[in-house]
Amino acid sequence: MTNPQQLLSALRQGDRRALARAITLVENNLEGAAELLTSLDLTKLSPLAGITGPPGAGKSTLINALITELTAQGKTVAIIAVDPTSPFNFGSLLGDRLRMAEHFTNPNVYIRSLATRGSLGGLSAAALEITDVVRSAGFDLVIVETVGVGQSEVEIAGLADTTVVVLVPEAGDDVQAIKSGIMEIADIFVVNKADRTGAQTFARNLHQLLHQRPASDWTVPVIKTVASRHEGIDELLTKIAAHQNRPVPNPRRALLFAEKAWKLIQRRRMRDVSRQQLTAEISRELENGTFQLYRFAQEYGLQG
């Protein structure tokens, strides 16, 4: 099944093979990808929660607990796990999340790993398109997990309906740095591993910082969880649903769509630039002793 319209019809009916093929089509920009994307009904997308935070915060364990709770309620859930990419072989360093292995055979769960493929933030260049394809497949909730490095926290805000930032009590010493970084994009804060020393104080400090934000229709909650013991998961799901069911539209909607459009335009203009080809050409010039970074970049840009 390679016809874009057939793929789209099948994935809307819950065909997971069709969904996998549609993702491959879009991720690799194969023939038919553009037709499939422009045929998506973007008014009927599954809700999307983005989960980000620093490495070691327990994001995968938290998502594993969310999956368990959602499937126990009879709901379907899709996970898009954005993994870091090796700069040498351009493949995913982590691959499918082994901590979610217990859900791989569950028909109500779909898990897909994407490599960042050199993106400076935590999102794959094709993450936006792939996410919309998955959201067109009728899941009750789609979750995107980023690697939590660079600008991923900001990028996820331009992708998700609800942005969940996961932190741990050990981040308490850096709470002022948090204020200047991700305070503005978090719709929900999670203090995971809340059984550790300092969790209560850290959560209280976050609350105090949030009070300094401009008033809005949504009060950002700080939820304490112990994901390994499934503590606080019900509350987190309740807050995600409450945020997505707000009667007031997101005031940043136009700005977020502008960010998405900018990324799509940028990606299309960079389509003919291959990192592998760049590496090969630079290697030749290095061997000849003629490589000069800025001259090379200028000349390569003029070639396009």
Burial class (CB in 10 A: 0-12, 13-18, 19+), 68: middle
pLDDT recorded at residue 249 = 67
Residue 144: alpha-carbon gap to chain centroid: 4
Domains of the chain: 1-39 (no CATH), 41-266 (3.40.50.300), 274-303 (no CATH)
Q: Which amino acid is at 173?
A: D
pLDDT recorded at residue 208 = 86
| Mean pLDDT, 10 residues at a time, the chain of 304 residues | 85 91 90 92 90 87 95 96 55 50 85 66 68 94 77 65 90 59 82 94 88 80 96 98 84 73 80 85 94 88 62
pLDDT recorded at residue 84 = 57
pLDDT recorded at residue 153 = 54
pLDDT recorded at residue 271 = 77
What is this structure's pTM? 0.82
Q: Which residue has the tokens 């009904």?
A: 41
Provide the terminal-to-terminal Cα distance of the chain, rounded to the nearest Å.
Answer: 35
pLDDT recorded at residue 214 = 73
pLDDT recorded at residue 148 = 61
> How distant, in Å, are the alpha carbons of 76, 103, 104, 170, 257 from that of 82?
20, 18, 17, 24, 21
